[in-house]
């Protein structure tokens, strides 16, 4: 089954907590603090793998998490960093923030991309020793890793996209000019997923062609299969528009040509402006009048017409060379520019404070919660460090401004205490 859209949640590893430890050794008096630092959490890294062609694996596993960093240890020993999580996706996959739609990365090459960074490890108590604080009984906890919900969208990387109504011979043509082996039958929607094929023109001269499932009128609005697969034409540098010039199914080839282009324009004006070569297929069963009429119609639009017959092979051998020559004049395959704005990390010193109806006060400050997690409030020096932090960064002044009195209750995250001046 071909899957080209998936939504997954990813979480980078949490940094390890710093250790609270003191050096104890025979004949060594007052060894001092020797708590090591926590290890950094693992990153979540995406890598484009040319051997993958679908996002099928992400239908069954939706949550991915990197390894947490190891906690610090005694003897100034730092914890191990968490192992990075590498997620492999097909080339051409777009990674978007599922909430905002912002483009995080376009994985068009095999260069690894870090989507979520692991949290920094916490500092051990060895860092908090001062001439006046010689026995620090607190350390810093590790920071949480980045976590987000992402949407993966596969946009196939191909130089040429074969477009046209169902049953006009696109699958047969791509099977003739490349090694691709799509399912071919005489009924609509034989092709249920895009088919890629490498077309070799000469030694060291080739291009990638994609057979896009049949478009029909209303595809841009979700009718038929076109809506699902139009995204795969967006990267193509050139469009090979296949038309049944014989009108063998009772349709007008000129009307078919116009309708397909209308659907492209409705989906993406930039896509409709791409260069096109028109392949008039089934010319072996078309009359001279039909061919002449359609040729005049296409040339009037300034486009090149190539007469082919996928059934008999007429004109097929010349088609790759014609396509390759035009591709040489076009810019490389399009890549999309990321526009995702990452939220401000919680490592700043921002906070909000408010007075509740019951007279207590609530402070929302993730950075202060982390300090509390690593503090021993029963220890005078640890408590003193905490008090210094809330005074230095304006939390205490804000609470006083809101009317906090001696003995009032203050809540910071899961912590609750009565403040005494």
Contact 335, 103 (CB under 8 A): no
User: How far apart (Å, rounded) are the C-alpha atoms in residues 195 and 20?
Assistant: 59
Domain spanning 1-154, CATH architecture: Distorted Sandwich (2.70)
| 141-177: pLDDT as tens digits | 888 899 999 999 988 888 998 888 887 888 888 888 8
* pLDDT per residue as tens digits for the range 93-138: 999 999 999 999 999 888 999 999 999 999 999 998 888 788 888 8
Q: What is the C-alpha to C-alpha distance for residues 43 and 41, in angstroms, rounded to an integer? A: 7
189 within 8 A of 266, measured Cβ to Cβ:
no
Give the pLDDT confidence score for residue 421 in this predicted structure. Answer: 65
Domains of the chain, residue spans? 1-154, 160-327, 352-418
- Are the CB atoms for 58 and 152 separated by under 8 Å? yes
C-alpha span between 97 and 100 (Å, rounded): 6
Give the list of residues 6+ apart from residue 103 with CB closer than 8 angstroms, or none. 94, 95, 96, 336, 337, 338, 339, 340
In angstroms, the CA 227 to CA 6 distance is 16
Residue for token digits 């939390």? Answer: 395
Number of other CB atoms surrounding residue 32 within 10 Å = 13
Q: Which residues of the chain have pLDDT under 50?
A: 1, 182, 184-191, 219-220, 223-226, 346
d(CA 402, CA 405): 9
Strands (E), 371-420: 409-412, 415-418
CA distance 268 to 278: 20
Q: Give me 131's structure tokens.
A: 């001439």
N-term to C-term CA, the chain? 67
Sequence-separated (6 or more) residues with CB below 8 Å from residue 289: none
Exposed (0-12), middle (13-18) or buried (19+): which is 83, by Cβ within 10 Å?
A: middle
The C-alpha atoms of residue 400 and residue 193 are separated, in whole angstroms, by 65
Domain 352-418 has CATH 3.30.830.10: no
CATH of domain 160-327: 3.40.50.300
Residues in the chain: 421
Q: CA torsion 384→387→392→397, rounded to 10°?
A: -150
Encoding tokens for residue 324?
Answer: 């390759």
pLDDT at site 214: 55
Which pair of tokens denotes residue 368? 């202060």
Distances (CA, A) of 180 to 174, 175, 208, 216, 231: 7, 5, 11, 24, 21
Q: What pLDDT, on the 0 to 100 scale, is given for residue 189?
A: 47
């Amino acid at each position: 089954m071909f899957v080209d859209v998936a939504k997954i949640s990813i979480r980078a590893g949490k940094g390890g907590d710093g250790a609270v430890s003191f050096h104890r050794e025979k004949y060594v008096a007052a060894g001092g603090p020797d708590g090591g630092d926590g290890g950094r959490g693992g990153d979540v890294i995406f890598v484009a793998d040319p051997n993958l062609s679908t996002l099928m694996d992400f239908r069954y596993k939706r949550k991915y998490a990197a390894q947490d960093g190891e906690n610090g240890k005694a003897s100034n020993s730092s914890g191990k960093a968490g192992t990075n999580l590498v997620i492999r996706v097909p080339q051409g996959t777009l990674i978007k923030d599922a909430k905002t739609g912002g483009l995080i990365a376009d994985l068009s090459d095999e260069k690894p991309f870090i989507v979520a960074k692991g949290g920094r490890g916490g500092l051990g108590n060895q860092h908090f020793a001062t001439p006046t604080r010689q026995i620090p009984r607190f350390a810093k906890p590790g920071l949480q890793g980045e976590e987000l919900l992402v949407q993966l969208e596969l946009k196939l990387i191909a130089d040429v996209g074969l477009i046209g109504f169902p049953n006009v011979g696109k699958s047969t043509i791509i099977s003739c000019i490349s090694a691709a082996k799509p399912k071919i039958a005489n009924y609509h929607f034989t092709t249920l997923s895009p088919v890629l094929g490498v077309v070799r023109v000469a030694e060291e001269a080739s291009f990638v062609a994609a057979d896009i499932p049949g478009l029909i009128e209303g595809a841009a609005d979700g009718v038929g299969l076109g809506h699902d697969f139009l995204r795969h034409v967006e990267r193509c540098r050139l469009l090979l528009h296949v038309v049944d010039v014989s009108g063998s199914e009772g349709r007008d080839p000129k009307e078919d040509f116009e309708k397909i282009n209308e659907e492209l324009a409705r989906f993406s004006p930039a896509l409709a402006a791409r260069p096109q070569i028109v392949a008039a297929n089934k010319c072996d069963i078309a009359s001279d009048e039909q061919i002449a009429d359609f040729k005049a119609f296409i040339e009037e639009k300034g486009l090149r017409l190539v007469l082919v017959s996928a059934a008999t092979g007429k004109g097929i051998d010349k088609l790759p060379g014609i396509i390759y020559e035009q591709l040489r004049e076009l810019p490389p395959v399009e890549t999309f520019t990321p526009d995702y704005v990452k939220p401000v990390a919680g490592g700043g010193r921002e906070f909000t404070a408010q007075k509740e109806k019951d007279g207590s006060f609530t402070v929302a400050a993730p950075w202060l919660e982390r300090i509390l997690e690593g503090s021993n409030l029963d220890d005078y020096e640890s408590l003193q460090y905490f008090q210094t932090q809330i005074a230095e960064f304006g939390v205490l002044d804000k609470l006083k401004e809101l009317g906090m009195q001696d003995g009032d209750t203050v809540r910071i995250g899961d912590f609750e205490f009565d403040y005494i001046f």
